[in-house]
Amino acid sequence: MSFLRNPLAWHKRYVEEVFDTPAGPASVVGRAGHVALQHYYGGIGKDESISLGLEYLRNVADFEINFGKARSKKAQKQKRESMEREYLQAINFYLARPPQYKVLGVEVKATVEVSGLPLPIKAVSDIVAVSKVDPRGIDIIDHKFVSAWSPYKAEKSLYVLQAIFNYYTVKKTFNKPVRRFIIQECKVSRNVDGSPQMRRHVIDFRTFRQEFIVFNRLVRDATLALRDMKVFLPNPSDMFEGENSFDIYRINLLPEDSDSHFRPDE
């Protein structure tokens, strides 16, 4: 997704391995939530898991966070306090009645070869569990902390792409049929109408066929595009890394790019 959205930012991160782009506060809060759930579903108690997530959040350095308009030290301190409140509220929403699974693996990382694809597939699965609808199969569970509900439910293209990446890696790793990809959304802000803070989206792989065909074609086409790409262009309209990618492009100007005869009014 990063390559499709912004090739230059992708090249910086995944080829040059420079990971210095600050993350937004919501992203950091979501990561802290993932840390807490990783420990909880790994067998640690609820309170200790929440504390470990909070510890992670507090250990994120200021330079790793994009504070936006909060530029002063005082404003940034207030923002960090707000992030801690959001994290504690969100994780307590999630763990008030946490979904229960027969867990086979937590934070399962894998890279696998897939027949017909020129590059290996890599993914991280939050939880791999025995399927509740097919005891012979397994389900993949993905946690998401969101500011608003996803408008497209399980049909959202991003969810479909993520689901297929995880499908391939989990199927090869566990050597069992993968039945479902389940997205557990937790809304960070409290619903004023008192409605549930959790929402579940289910992708049943039994209904997938066209999606796998499109996925495989996309991976092949992206690989071909990358193989022939000699110049990585920025995407200034990218709301996440647009400015950063344009700055990288500006820094990498070559001497021959300078024209001493250039005049702004020409």
**Exposure string (b/e) for 2-40, b if CB count within 10 Å is 16 or more?**
ebebbbbbbbbbeeeeeeeebeebeebbbbbbbbbbbbb
Which residue segments constitute the domains of the chain, with CATH numbers given?
A: 19-96 (no CATH), 103-208 (3.90.320.10)
69 burial via Cβ count (<10 Å: 0-12, 13-18, 19+):
exposed
pLDDT value for 251: 66
Kindly list the averaged pLDDT for each block of 10 residues, start to end, along the chain of length 266.
85 82 90 98 97 97 89 92 97 96 97 93 96 95 92 79 96 96 95 93 91 93 89 76 71 52 51
The mean pLDDT of the chain is 89
Tens digit of pLDDT for each residue in 208-249?
A: 889 999 999 999 999 999 888 888 887 877 766 766 777 777
Strands (E), the chain: 103-112, 121-130, 138-146, 178-187, 198-204
| Separation between Cα atoms, residue 39 and residue 23, nearest integer Å | 23
Tens digit of pLDDT for each residue in 11-28?
A: 888 888 887 778 889 999
